[in-house]
A and B are shown apart, each in its own frame.
Chain A
């Protein structure tokens, strides 16, 4: 038995001396492998008497277990050391910048349009579209601009060459000066009740600090049998409060004039101007925000709707203007300059989708 003790001692020493997993494995094979020293001893059991065999067998098994335990313990120490060495060797400079990715953005005009759609959709409006190159009829005549009326010139219209083979209103091609043209298309093709909004590009020949030759408007049209000025006010007051995110936003309606509405109004919202800073909300000043009115009976007639049966209201606003007011963007012209610094600064992240739930 003392032989076994000596063997154990010898093997345990080699286990402790193993400097890495590889040499530890060699120790294990030498001791416990098929031709290992403990295994060799096991093989001699057959030569012993049953009693000696029993006793020797138990002792050898114990020895085997003890050596295994020693090896396992040594292995976990060595593994931990190896892991530490690996981790130490793998250390890198984590202050380096990660691989670059491009960050995209949404233009403030698109974002504003989507916000408006979200609010008006909630009031039952859907979005309508129409062409940007229009004819005289849809831009002026149908909207009750008398022929050669000064108002036509007030619009600073861009013209294209007349279309060959057509005459009069239908031949004259122009860039729409307002999105109201789409009102006409909608009324010509849909039966009331109608609730549409029309965001889109519009064009006027004007270019200075506060005008660009291309800009965007949001048009609205509601036609049914009973809509009146009170509904117009209710609709637009709700819109402005939600759009500008000011619950107690003061609003006022002033009589105005547009050829295509009667009565006509302009809507102002309250604001304050303190130390050169404009703030939307209760204050001592007013800001003009949009034009609106009850659709002129002549317009209904021109679009094939009986003004004795149907009535309704329309409104239109400049999208750049309200975007500038809401987001504090100072200069109109910058909207169309494609300056990446501007696009990234005033633009919106692709996940910032207007959403009623998120407000």
Chain B
């Protein structure tokens, strides 16, 4: 909402300065978004009187002027052809910044003649593109006075950001009322004209649905003369960015902006029969005033005559019935339209108009008749003519309500105590009527404040006029004994996973929660719920249209982009939701990471190594361990889903619960994503992790064994299909109390090992707890290990 300072002052009598006014507007909730003050840019420029003008002795096109600046007479060299003695113009003294030339004036000598300043063109002041000569001011302009005011540019434009609840301030009068209530001046009452009808209104009005259009007032004015509106009106409209069109149209725009009273004028000679307001029928069309033709839908509010739709109620009028320069008889429409329907119709047809802006926020229902009278009088004053009586259909609904309000609510909810008299005064100034009813008050809201619904709104009204700054701040710090556990177990896991992965050298990223359909399909969007259920009905683009079933495709794409940019070997992770269904439990917080290219880059210290499944497995296990999962209990199965390499991937499980998938990405998936580096990744489903056992801060007592541990190496010949994990489990199970650790340190196939077999070397650590092991005991344990391996894997000691 834009207005100028002088227009505001039409309605409020105030000695306040511009900055006092704008500060107050922001303080009462009418946030000032911008102030365009031409006087600010033209500060220092004055009206200069050219006392004499003589030809420059050494230049044909230059003149030497003597300019009276009001303070002194200065020599100025000037090249403008219209510069002449006796004229008045805009003088820029030395030191002025010339916005149109982007330079700061210096004292100069031009071809031997001293020049102390400049007479300016419109282009130099950025007023227009005119640069054929210098600005000529009327003789009445006082020499030495501010140029801005002589140019009529001393009217700052203020733009406020109007919140959707404050329809009443979509008119300048409403803004003036709020400022006056806030103590910034006195509201000037509107003068209401008395009109004398001279003939009977020939056009009657009717309404089919009074919910959509509760009131319609029509008035016939005949014998008008349309044409350009008077200069003051044009200037007002131009100052807020409106193009003057004709007197009749400008008057409606004036009422809209000044008094938040949108209205419409028809050329009465173009109307056929009476006016009826009714729901549109699907397929009816309107050639609207914005030069577009709209096809209406059922239920949109149409203002019609016998020929069909004339306009969309509350939104826009039509071309065929519009006024023109030759209009002689005019029909004025002043109506009320339903806020919701106006908004819906406006949205559906995508029409943004000044009328819609106001009707969808709600206008003052009690101001229809007065608004009609003011508009009619303006038409008579400017265009002449005589008026009929008004045709009225419907009644203005009573928009005011009575709210029970106890003055102590201000302290209880608003946190500030104000005397009852002060509270009452604020409410009265805003147009509320206060009736005391015992301890509580009955507060009647004004017709223009439909947004005020309850006691909390009354508190806000008093607080905002008194100033939010005056509410004392109070701490909310809890009492010292208050127990505090800020993070849920799930959130804690996310935080731990984040720190662990970053420590392990992965960079955290955040990618979109939606991706393209092809990627979604590659990563199992259809595994649990049909893709259609997870596809946005109004995506921002096809690339961002399906809720991601996995974070990996985004990480692969991101790593790929970095690689293409020359930053290879990306290691990335993200902690965020995967979406397996639209229900809450189908939105799974996942910690997913990806390493690409080389795990160990080319380096003098050793050969490069490509990332592989074990990198992903190590990352996943590190997160699980940090989240309190006993990794010794984890089982590994080889049934990771189809986007992993089937022979180089796995699932980490606790019984039937899958905690994570890990592995190298399936080559076909990478090919589909047009990547050819190595990729290994993991997905950890944080909600599936077991709840860490709640213990006190105390740790379990450490009982280090005082006895020497013994290490023994074994090499077994196994079928190549026997998994290492199975071998280790067999070994550990052979003598649980003694075997504290078993680790595979070599896997060999080739010369000396029969095809289909492999040799696996294991280091086993025996840790006695009660006494040092004897040679016989060690031999016995070794024997047990060999037997267990044979029984469980079919393997034998390598000969």
Contact = CB atoms under 8 A, between A and B. Distances in A.
Interface string A292-329: 00101100000000000001000000000000000000
B605 interface: yes
B233 to A, nearest CB: 31
Interface stretch (B88-96, B497-505, B704-712): B497-505
Contacts of A226: 412
B576 interface: yes
A123 B474 CA distance: 12
Interface stretch (A16-24, A36-44, A53-61, A93-101): A93-101
A234 B476 CA distance: 7
Given A230-B472, A231-B415, A105 B502 contact: yes
Contact of A105 (B344, B508, B575): B508
Interface stretch (A82-90, A275-283, A342-350): A342-350
Interface string A74-116: 0000000000000000000000110111111111011000100
A235 interface: yes
B476 A150 contact: no
Nearest to A238: B475
Chain B CB count within 10 A is highest, among A101, A257, A336, A338, for A338
Chain B CB count within 10 A is highest, among A131, A175, A254, for A254
A158 B536 contact: yes
Interface in B424-481: 454, 456-457, 459-460, 463-464, 468-469, 471-478
A226 B414 CA distance: 10
B507 A160 contact: no
A192 interface: no
A205 B604 CA distance: 50
Contact of B416 (A214, A229, A264, A311): A229
A341 B567 contact: yes
Nearest to A105: B507
Contacts of A234: 473-476
B587 A107 contact: no
Contact of B490 (A129, A203, A256, A296): A129
B603 A97 contact: yes
A252 B416 contact: no
Contact of B340 (A104, A148, A214): A148
Contacts of A229: 413-416, 463, 468, 471
B603 A100 contact: yes
B273 to A, nearest CB: 33
Contact of B538 (A131, A205, A264, A344): A205
B272 to A, nearest CB: 34
A230 B510 contact: no
Interface string A195-211: 10000010101110000
B600 to A, nearest CB: 7
Interface string B570-609: 1110011101001110010000000000001101111000
A338 B474 contact: no
Interface in B514-560: 514, 532-540, 544, 547, 554-555, 558
A121 interface: yes
B343 interface: yes
B191 interface: no
Given A104-B505, A340-B562, A160 B414 contact: no
Nearest to B541: A207
Chain B CB count within 10 A is highest, among A110, A122, A227, A238, for A110
A230 B471 CA distance: 6
Interface stretch (B158-166, B255-263, B656-664): B158-166
A255 interface: yes
Contacts of A257: 29, 163-166
Chain A CB count within 10 A is highest, among B460, B487, B490, for B460
B482 interface: yes
Nearest to A227: B476
B582 A265 contact: no
B27 interface: yes
Contacts of A102: 504-506, 569, 571
A35 B359 CA distance: 123
Contact of B498 (A99, A106, A175, A263): A106
A335 B510 contact: yes
Interface residues of B, number: 98
Contacts of A203: 513
Contacts of B416: 229-230
B582 A173 contact: yes
A282 to B, nearest CB: 16
B582 to A, nearest CB: 5
Given A125-B486, A228-B414, A264-B460, A101 B505 contact: yes
B57 to A, nearest CB: 45
A227 B555 CA distance: 45
Contact of B540 (A149, A207, A255): A207
A14 interface: no
Given A123-B476, A151-B164, A254-B26, A338 B511 contact: yes
Contacts of A105: 502, 507-508
A100 B503 contact: no
Contacts of B471: 229-230, 233, 253
Contact of B487 (A117, A175, A227, A338): A117
A173 B454 CA distance: 31
Nearest to B461: A263
Contacts of B476: 123-124, 195, 222, 227, 231, 234-235
A159 B537 contact: yes
Contact of B463 (A163, A173, A263): A263
Nearest to A131: B584
A86 to B, nearest CB: 22
B31 A100 contact: no
A25 interface: no
A218 to B, nearest CB: 13
Given A229-B471, A262-B456, A103 B505 contact: yes
A238 B411 CA distance: 22
B484 interface: yes
A4 to B, nearest CB: 50
A68 interface: no
Nearest to B581: A133
A252 B469 contact: yes
A270 interface: no
B582 A228 contact: no
B512 interface: yes
Contacts of A117: 486-487
B772 interface: no
B163 A109 contact: no
A298 B752 CA distance: 82
Contacts of B538: 158-159, 205
B506 A104 contact: yes
Chain A CB count within 10 A is highest, among B28, B456, B475, B554, for B456
A127 B487 contact: yes
B509 A107 contact: yes
Contacts of A124: 476-478, 482, 484
B535 A160 contact: yes
B608 to A, nearest CB: 10
Contacts of B554: 338
Contacts of A285: none
Contacts of B474: 228, 230-231, 233-234
Contact of B571 (A104, A207, A311): A104
B360 interface: yes
B792 interface: no
Given A233-B468, A338-B561, 13 more contacts: A102-B505, A103-B505, A126-B488, A127-B487, A201-B576, A201-B577, A214-B512, A214-B514, A229-B416, A230-B473, A262-B456, A262-B459, A336-B510
3 closest Cβ pairs, A-B complex: A102-B505, A230-B415, A255-B29
22 contacts: A100-B601, A104-B502, A104-B504, A110-B510, A126-B486, A126-B487, A127-B487, A131-B587, A132-B587, A133-B547, A133-B579, A133-B582, A148-B344, A158-B536, A161-B532, A205-B540, A227-B476, A233-B473, A235-B476, A265-B468, A297-B456, A350-B499
